[in-house]
Amino acid sequence: MHTATSYAALLSLALIGAGCIGSTGGALVSFPAAAHGITRAGAESHPDGNHATDPLEFNTQSGWTVALSRASVAIGAVYLSAARPLQNVRESACYSPALYVGEVRSARVVDLLDPTPQPFPALGDGIADRALSGEVWLGSTAAVDADTDKTVVLSVAGTARKNGVSVPFKGDFTISSNRKKAPQSEAQPGSNPLCQQRIIAPILVDFPLSNAGPGNGLDLEIDARSFFQAVAFDELPAPLAAGEPRLFIDKEEGQPSTSLYQGLRANRGPWTFRFRP
C-alpha cells in the first residue's frame, strides 16, 4: 500500500516536495539511463553500425517524403510513477499528485538521428516498485515552472518533398514566454501554467525498477518521425531569400509550426520507455 512519503526524505533527493510524492517503502535502487533515436532498417550495413550521420528518411500521413538531416531534443529530467492516470491534468499546479517511484534528474540533449544509447550524466534513483507511467520534462534542469527558459527543446532541419515540390526547412523551438497562455478564467488565475507545456505525460509503461549495471537500466527511445506526421510543409512561410530554407515559427502560429509543436508534446507515439534489469 502506498503512503504519502516525501522522496526528499526517502532518497535525499530534491524531487518535488512533500505531499506530491508517494512511495511504497521498497528498497532504494539506482540505475543508468540513456536516450536515443530509433534503430533504422539496415543499420548493420553501416560502417559504424548505425546511420547516425545519414538523414532519417520517412513518409508522413499527409504524403510528404521527409529527409531529416538534424533533429535533437533537450531533456531536463525524467520521472516514473506507480500510478497510471487517465490523462495529464495540471490546471493550477506544476506537479501532478502522482506516486513517483523513480527519477533521472540530469539534463541531456539527445541526437534523434543516432540510435546509439546516449547516457544521462547522472544515475537514476528510485525504489524497487513497478512503474506504470512516465514523464519527460523538456528543457534544462532549471525549475520547470520558470517564467523563461532559453533552452532550445527541439532543433530540426531537413527537406520535405511532395508532388515534385521540394521544401527545405529548419527550426528551433523553445518553451518560454513565447508559449504562455492566458488563465482559463479570472477565478482561476493560476491555471494554464507554463510548466504544463514542458511536461510530457502520462507516457504509459509497465516494468519494475531495480538496481542495474552498465549496459542495462532505463532506456528512452524517441521517434522523431512522429513529430512531423501532420505537418503541412508547403504552408511554411516563404524563405527570406532564394535558396534558403523555410523556417518553423517559435510559437503556435500557422499550421506547420503548431502541428510540429503538438507532435513533440504528444504523450503517445514519440516516446517509449524500457527498463533492463
Phi and psi at residue 50, to the nearest 5°: -150, 175
Residue 2 lies in a domain: no
CB 173: neighbour CB atoms within 10 A?
22
Residue 74 lies in a domain: yes
Do 21 and 12 meet the contact criterion of CB atoms below 8 Å apart? no
> In 3D, which of 148, 17, 154, 6 has the Cα closest to residue 95?
17
In one-letter notation, the amino acid at residue 262 is Q
Do 79 and 137 meet the contact criterion of CB atoms below 8 Å apart? yes
Coil, strand or helix: which one is 267?
Answer: coil
Phi-psi region of 59 (alpha: psi -120 to 50; beta: other; left: phi over 0): beta
Identify the pLDDT of residue 87.
59
Residue 188 lies in a domain: yes
Distance CA 15, CA 34 (A): 20
What total number of domains does the chain contain?
1
In one-letter notation, the amino acid at residue 100 is Y
Do 202 and 84 meet the contact criterion of CB atoms below 8 Å apart? yes
Note down the domain range covering 185.
7-276
Residue 143 lies in a domain: yes
- Please give the chain's pLDDT, 277 residues, in tens: 333 233 333 333 334 332 334 444 579 999 999 999 999 986 444 555 555 679 999 999 999 999 999 999 999 999 999 988 765 554 456 766 568 999 999 999 999 999 999 999 999 999 999 999 999 999 987 678 888 899 999 999 999 999 999 999 999 999 999 998 877 666 655 567 888 899 999 999 999 999 999 889 999 999 999 999 999 999 999 998 988 999 999 999 999 999 999 999 999 999 999 999 9
In one-letter notation, the amino acid at residue 209 is L
Residue 84 lies in a domain: yes
Take residue 155 and report the three cell numbers written for it: 532543433
Residue 268 lies in a domain: yes
Residue 1 lies in a domain: no
Do 36 and 118 meet the contact criterion of CB atoms below 8 Å apart? yes
Could you tell me the pTM of the whole model?
Answer: 0.86
Identify the pLDDT of residue 194.
87
Which residue carries 517524403 as its cell? 65
Identify the pLDDT of residue 192.
78
Residue 204 lies in a domain: yes
Take residue 220 and report the three cell numbers written for it: 528512452
Question: What pLDDT digit, counting tens, does each position of 88-145 carry?
Answer: 554 456 766 568 999 999 999 999 999 999 999 999 999 999 999 999 999 987 678 8
